[in-house]
Amino acid sequence: MNCSEVLEQAPLFPDLQSAGEDIRRHLDGCPSCARQVAETRALDERLKAGVLAETFDTSALERRVMHRIAEESAARFTEDAMPARRRFLWPLAAFGTLAAAAAAMVSFVVYQSVKPKPSPYSLAAAHDHRLEVVEGQLRRWRLDIPSAEVMASTHGIPTALISAVESAGFTFKEAKLCKLSGVIFLHLVYLDGNQEFSLYLRHEDTNPAGGAKRLFTTEGGQEHVAGFRDGALEALVVTDQPGRAALRIARAAAQVI
């Protein structure tokens, strides 16, 4: 490959590991191209950091959208339920409309009031997963379950959970302790098929035991986070796979934990 082909194609890959062998070989032997590609990556990082630094609160927007969806669903329900002879049955239809709208409103309000809130550690977990698992920054991982169980037991996390997650069809890969926003979590990495995902666990002494597990999902950068609390145990699943995958993994983990 010549220099112009390399400079055109190298920035199209998320990292040089995923670029072709011929691109990597060219960059190894061409300092000028290597410098320009590095500059482009630095520009990309700066752009990404600059845009992601702007934060948005979408909670009001999300409430508006779900409210509109509830209204539209109620209207459609009534339309579908109306027979051809609707002019003879208009009082019933009108009652149906009002009842369906009221039911939708009530279910929406109830749902909003009990909807599980994302963990405050979600974004930190997404960032940690991106750096340590996706980008593979050098860290000291424990590669065997007994070592992971020792770390779990010293932080109040039931040791049996680590193997229990494997019984849900995932393969243990590695573990270490980490801090998310200053709070210690046990960071476990499992394989779902050939895709890695992170499971962050922590035990909070002050949280009362008991209560139903309620799943939440959210996103952080390119990662999807799903999680739940089970009494004093908090669990966060992070994956760069679609949000549906995060939810499926968290649901499977919740069943065995």
Partner 1 sequence: MVAARQQEFEQVALPHARALLRVARRLTGRSSAAEDLVQETLLSAWRGFHQFRPDTNIRAWLFRILFNTFYGQGRKLSGTIVPLSPAMAARTPSADDAIEVRRALDGLEADHQAVLLLGVVEGFTCREMAEILDVPIGTVMSRLSRARQAMRRSLERREDELLRSAGTGATVS
Nearest residue (CB) to partner 1, 68 versus 155: 68
Cβ at position 22, least distance to partner 1 in Å: 17
Nearest residue (CB) to partner 1, 7 versus 162: 7
Cβ at position 83, least distance to partner 1 in Å: 20
Nearest residue (CB) to partner 1, 135 versus 144: 135
Task: Read off φ and ψ for residue 180, nearest 5 degrees.
Answer: -115, 115
Nearest residue (CB) to partner 1, 7 versus 152: 7
Cβ at position 44, least distance to partner 1 in Å: 5
Given a contact cutoff of 8 angstroms between Cβ atoms, the answer to whether 105 and 97 are in contact is no
Q: Give the chain as a DSSP string.
A: --HHHHHHHGGGSSSGGGS-HHHHHHHHH-HHHHHHHHHHHHHHHHHHHHHHTS----HHHHHHHHHHHHHHHHHHHHHHH--TTGGGSHHHHHHHHHHHHHHHHHHHHHHHHHPPPPPTTHHHHHHHHIIIIIS------B-SHHHHHHHHHHTT--THHHHHHHHTT-EEEEEEEEEETTEEEEEEEEEETTEEEEEEEEE-TTSPS------EEEEETTEEEEEEEETTEEEEEEESS-HHHHHHHHHHHHHH-
Nearest residue (CB) to partner 1, 110 versus 143: 110
Cβ at position 236, least distance to partner 1 in Å: 14
Binding site for partner 1 (CB under 8 A): 8, 11-12, 14, 40, 43-44, 46-54, 56, 58, 61-62, 64-66, 68-70, 72-73, 77, 107, 111, 115, 215, 217-219, 222, 224, 242-244, 247
Cβ at position 46, least distance to partner 1 in Å: 6
Nearest residue (CB) to partner 1, 186 versus 213: 213
CA distance 10 to 5: 8
Cβ at position 205, least distance to partner 1 in Å: 30
